Amino acid sequence: MSKKSLFKIIATIISLFCFNVPTFAEMTQNITPGVAADTVIWETPVNLTGGKNGTLQLVCAEDVINEDTNAKGKLTDVEGRFELRLIDADKRTMSVNNDLFGFAGHFPVTNFEIFFDDYNSDGCMDFALGQPADNGWAYKIFTVKNDKILALPIENQASVMISGGGYYSRRLDTGGLGGFCAVEYEGYTPDECVIKTYAWDGTQFFVSEENTQPLVQITDISDYFVPLLSDEGTPYKNEEAFLYSQEGVQFRKTAYGAAKALLTADAESLARHLVNPGSAVYAVRHLTDIFDEITLMTFKFSFEDSVVSEKEIITSYEFATKNDDSYSYVSMTLLKIDGVWKVSFIGLEK
């Protein structure tokens, strides 16, 4: 069994129940080499007090100190000092927070998803931003409260370390009662891990429980894997049984419809497949119709790699175009809501 699979099993064990309320956030700000101060790297819609609309932005606080480009010279990543900004519908700055990762922050300029959840049970949305670290990813937790961006402190820690797979934002594993869990490998080889449970004391998170587990003890994925269940309550035996069932056909229609809508930059069609239809305009606002240029398009799905729970699946379409022989991906997360599969996140990745 792969180390990636082992990590996913551990995550399944400690995640008793996820809120499953990620706010769709499509970051598509296109910028060019020579990134200067005040350049918006990504932005996502948020709700302000009184039900007003606002925007959360990640912004270059100074001219970047380093830029990475791909083989074709397109900008992919920037390094420098960043800050979070909250602006209202009239483009007025409501709040600024520069308590990120010091001067040497590193972020991609391509699309990535921001997950929102309420980790301290105060009714306000929180989110985690991360940076690659020696043994995983280091995450800081922020909240938007009373129209301000605040960092949520962690007792005796600057950040939360999570080993295994990660990205610049992620949904933290939570038991639904406030707080969250994190899995950290011991040393640089994941022979065992430390599972830390974080609770909120009203002012800060603290480690309420810490357990060490040898990863080698977990050998049978069937003991821990959460299967997809049919309408009769029995598990689907394999991917084919699910994909060709009535539910699986609806799942594939939604996934393909959302992918095609994104690749044709059709916000109206995309909105029909989304959990939050109003977010469609943000997903396509900088995109153009490339669907007719696609030469190959492959659906990526497997029980082991795709299924998070009975009601959440991560999947993608791999595609190539006439002018680019390398592969790109339409990545998406689908949630089962009232028996219907809807897309909670969708984005383009290289």
- Residue 26 tokens read as 């499509």
Domain range spanning residue 265? 239-349
- Structurally, the chain folds into a number of domains equal to 3
Q: Looking at the structure, do residues 143 and 3 belong to the same domain, yes or no?
A: yes
| Dihedral of alpha carbons 40, 43, 48, 51, sign | positive
Percent of the chain past pLDDT 70, that is, above it, reads 75
Q: Looking at the structure, do residues 197 and 144 belong to the same domain, yes or no?
A: yes
3-state DSSP percent of the chain in helix, strand and coil, to 5 = 20, 40, 40
- Residue 48 tokens read as 């302000």
Q: Looking at the structure, do residues 140 and 287 belong to the same domain, yes or no?
A: no
**CB-based contact 115:139 (threshold 8 Å):** no
Q: Looking at the structure, do residues 334 and 260 belong to the same domain, yes or no?
A: yes
- For residue 99, being part of any structural domain is answered with yes
Q: Hey, how many other C-beta atoms are within 10 angstroms of the C-beta on 175?
A: 14
Closest CA to 80 of 37, 141, 30: 37
Q: Looking at the structure, do residues 215 and 144 belong to the same domain, yes or no?
A: yes
> What digits encode the pLDDT tens for the residues 36-61?
778 888 888 998 988 899 999 988 88
- For residue 316, being part of any structural domain is answered with yes
- Measured in whole angstroms, how far is the alpha carbon of residue 231 from the centre of its chain? 29
Question: Which of 97, 112, 127 is at the close of a domain?
Answer: 112
Q: For residue 157, give every residue at least 6 positions away whose Cβ sits within 8 Å of its Cβ, in sequence order, or none.
A: none
- Residue 19 tokens read as 């809120």
Is the pTM above the cut of 0.95?
Answer: no
- Residue 62 tokens read as 């100074």
**H-helix or E-strand spanning residue 328:** strand 324-337
- For residue 64, being part of any structural domain is answered with yes
Report residue 87: phi and psi, to 5°: -125, 155
Q: Looking at the structure, do residues 13 and 157 belong to the same domain, yes or no?
A: yes
Closest CA to 115 of 167, 55, 181: 167
- Cα separation, 327 vs 318, whole angstroms: 6
The whole-chain average pLDDT of the chain stands at: 77
Question: Which of 50, 85, 112 is at the close of a domain?
Answer: 112
pLDDT band at 226; cut points 50, 70, 90: very low
